[in-house]
Structure 1
Amino acid sequence: MNKAFILDLDGTLLDSMGAWQNVGIKYLIKKGFTNIPPNLPSILKPLTILESANYIKTEWQIDLPQQTIADEINELMAQFYQNEVELKAGVRAFFERHKEHKMCIATATDRHLVKHALKRVGLEDRFEFIITSTEMGNSKRQPDIFIEAAKKLSSKIEDAIVFEDALHAIISATSAGFYTVGVYDESFKHETEQIKKVANEFFYDLSDWRL
């Protein structure tokens, strides 16, 4: 039986984590704030966009609805996804090698941004579906998104492979019984050794992975 692939987007397929790391800072600067801690990117990194918006709203006492803040952050990212984002090295070769497998995107990024990105890199028709943390109602710190993705792929958990760059997501997927492949990303380089210990496999370039 062919394995089903559940793929993260940012940092796994797309070279986009640098943009996400800076978007919270860019948003606050745009709002006129200067008291921005340097560790803000690491605080926001594991959060969904709505959780990030709530954190920013609370910490900086911004008098806007949480959803409005999330929408404004997404708008900053939309320009990047439409005009600048690129695939990471080895990703096209990975897709060429595994054409026969069912695949989906499971991501913390909101759906309309995912569609912009996939259209730009020419992969809008490659996946069975997209599933997002916002739609699931929680982050990848819980395995719900992976379990739901496997269900929608008509795959048992043991027959699905999760590809991720983030330690918290790999821990979550592994805890639910998924086979996990860790993918290196510069933004998570400080977690590389931990990821190697938790994931079933780890690669610096997806084109090196073989089933």
Structure 2
Amino acid sequence: MNPKIELVIFDCDGVVIDSEVLSAQVLIDMLVDKAVFIDRAYVQEHFLGCNFKAVTQKIADAFNVELPERFEADYRNALLHEFETALMPTNGIKEVLANLATPSCIATSSSPARTEKALSVVKLSHYFDEVFTSSEVKNGKPAPDLFLHAAKKMGVNPAHCLVIEDSIAGVSAALAANMQVLHYSGGGHMQGAVNFVHKAYPEVAHLTDWKAFYEMYPTLKI
């Protein structure tokens, strides 16, 4: 049996907010001007769960192109504009959070500004005790640093943490941190896409719809 869960650690993009399709399209459109042509499937396979520094390095390695210094800032500004008009929470997450009896936090590869803005737009900020970003640790996902940092700050043994992730990088990081893991694949970016996480980690618990969350974890409900 798994140890008692004392903390639920949510990834943000693709788990709490349905942002990955928006993020991918903004990046795809901006890279065209740099003669880099990719699609959503490429983003899904290579960039999902990674922070922007890792993404730019992967682009440089794969396409032999160095993005200008302003690229990240321009990307973030364009994405925040999209968030204002098109961002939604993942379907059913509000009901899960409203009925969660266990402390919870966010641990995300996104920047603090982007995360704060996103949670504010979808009106979910008040559900989380803390928000942690990869800017607070040396190594981002798939290293375990961010999840271990979150557990330490929240005062919970890693074995008593449940991480909910949608990406290979995130699941790998949670497993490396010796935490319990749930793979969520109900975000818009997963519809009709190859499930790389399930292929890589078939043994990890899998959830496609938040409606079934408390059937899997009944002790976490109020």
| TM-score, length basis structure 1 | 0.85
User: Counterpart in 2 of 1:139?
Assistant: 140
Gaps of 5+ in 1: none
Q: Which range moves more in the overlay, 148-157 or 80-89?
A: 80-89
* Root mean square deviation, CA, Å: 2.3
| TM-score, length basis structure 2 | 0.81
- Contact map agreement 1:50 1:134 (CA 8 A) in 2: no
Report the CA distance between 1:196 and its aligned residue. 5.9
Gaps of 5+ in 2: 218-222
User: Counterpart in 1 of 2:220?
Assistant: none
Distance 2:135 2:13 in 1: 15
Segments of 4+ in structure 1 off by > 6 A? Answer: none
Report the CA distance between 1:171 and its aligned residue. 2.2
Deviation sequence 1:113-152 (CA, Å, 0-9, x none): 1111111111122212211123323221101111111111
- Contact map agreement 2:143 2:172 (CA 8 A) in 1: no
Distance 2:188 2:90 in 1: 11
Deviation sequence 1:51-79 (CA, Å, 0-9, x none): 223444673234x33xx322121111111
Distance 2:120 2:166 in 1: 22
> Percent of counterpart pairs with the same letter?
19
- Contact map agreement 1:46 1:139 (CA 8 A) in 2: no
What count of residue pairs does the alignment treat as equivalent?
A: 204
Equivalent residue of 1:125, what SS? helix
User: Counterpart in 2 of 1:48?
Assistant: 51
1:149 maps to a residue whose letter is A
Q: Which range moves more in the overlay, 87-96 or 36-45?
A: 36-45
Aligned positions of 1:37-76 closer than 5 A: 37-38=38-39, 40-41=42-43, 42-56=45-59, 59-62=64-67, 64-65=68-69, 68-76=70-78
